[in-house]
Amino acid sequence: MTIPFTVRPADRLPAAERERLLAAPAFGEVFSDHMISIEWDRQSGWHGAQLAPYGPLLLDPATQVFHYGQEVFEGLKAYRRPDGTVVTFRPFANAARLNRSCERMAMPPLPEETFVEALELLVATDRAWVPEQPGHSLYLRPFMIATQRSLGFYGPSDAYRFLVIACPAGAYFKAGAEPLTVWLSEDYTRAAPGGTGAAKCGGNYAGTLVAQAQARERGCDQVVWLDAAERRWVDELGTSNLFFVYGSRLVTPELSGTLLPGVTRDSVLALAAELGYTAEEGRISVADWRADAGSGRLTEVFSCGTSSMITPVGHVRSAHGDWTIGGGRPGPVTARLREELTGIQTGERPDPFGWVHKI
Ligand code: COI
């Protein structure tokens, strides 16, 4: 251990009640028995690491995070394999991204090993919460908040807390792997050059809720974000990245600084190349998306993210008209990548990249 953890065991939920909750988990509604908490201040650095019973936090109303939003988070999953072992997927990639987000938000980095040890301790302790059902997992939510008690906005907080909580998760989208219908947001933008778009911070999500509500009103599952300068180039979806499939060539919007560098996005780029596809980062304009979907040159579009995995996108709605990709049906490249990536996570496929991390 890079840092000593104090263990305060929880009164565990009775097994029968836990099994009832695991049978049909919604996303992010119920939580496992324990949580991790580690403190930081300028004098002591990271200290006071605990595995403690899951429960409410007692914070002063003047705590900085409530007012100025200095907060970052991560998302990854623990999977129970058919042989009973429990694994996580690329936890060091999430640790590295957390620290990149921290840098942008003027927060202290957490040693990557401590991040992974915290996950290991929580998952090993609450192992019974990792669902057995195929397609289900234990979603892990590491996050860091500014805890200095002060309304003065003179600079970054003097104190922080890193926490990890865990919740059993089924399919993120109600329709499972059915194609999504997405809404092209032209009234709002998510991130501008020089802003916080590449950081995984709560404010990036809060600012998108009004557009997500517009999407829902129009019968859409997700918002498509365009670049803020020209409103011409596709950045990403509300909670995930996007891939465009032209036969055997895949293109995903390049990391311009305004979109989230997704771990699943990075995994799909590597996996697609391994499977013999051409996988590239580039720029996709809305005009080309529409024209290429119409001509059939664009064969599939899919979204990818930790919570939603790989999900086809079948229909686009916008103020200037609607269009369909690949007849609105799931395509073979999307299905193959979903199957291969799931297979690596569950152990049904080899892991040539060393992505799987045993607990
Ligand atoms: C994830 O996919 O892990 C995310 O953080 C998206 C979140 C809005 C559920």
| Alpha-carbon torsion, ordered 337, 310, 330, 197, to 10 deg | -120
Which pLDDT does position 12 carry in this prediction?
Answer: 94
Give 287-331 pLDDT, tens digit per residue. Answer: 999 999 999 999 999 999 998 899 999 999 999 999 999 999 999
Task: Give per-residue pLDDT as tens, 153-163.
Answer: 889 999 999 99
Kind and range of the H or E run holding 15 = helix 15-23
Strand 180-184 and strand 309-317: the pairing is parallel
Residue nearest to atom 8 of ligand 1 (CA): 239
Task: Locate 163 and state its tokens.
Answer: 């926490």
CA distance 252 to 243: 5
Claim: this prediction has a pTM higher than 0.90: yes
Mean pLDDT of 92-98: 98
Q: Which atom, in ligand 1's list, is nearest to the CA of 76? A: 3
| Integer Cα distance of 70 and 202 in angstroms | 8
User: Is the pLDDT assigned to residue 175 strictly greater than 80?
Assistant: no
AA letter at 251: V
Query: What secondary structure letter does DSSP report for 172?
Result: S
> Which residue lies with its CA nearest to atom 3 of ligand 1?
75
Which atom of ligand 1 is closest in space to residue 308's alpha carbon?
A: 2
Q: 200-225: b or e for each residue (b if 16 or more CB lie within 10 Å)?
A: bbbbbeeebeebbeebeeeebbbbbb
CA separation for the pair 171, 107 (Å, rounded): 32
**What residues line ligand 1, using a CB cutoff of 6 Å?**
75, 205, 239, 305-307
Q: How confident is the model at residue 273 (pLDDT cuts 50, 70, 90)?
A: very high
Pick 38 or 24 by higher pLDDT: 38
**322, 323, 301: which is closest to 313 by C-alpha?**
301
Tell me how far apart the alpha carbons of residues 236 and 253 are, in angstroms, rounded to a whole number: 8
Beta bridge partners of 79: 87
Give the H or E element holding residue 265: helix 263-274
Task: Find the 282 Cα to ligand 1 centroid distance in Å.
Answer: 23
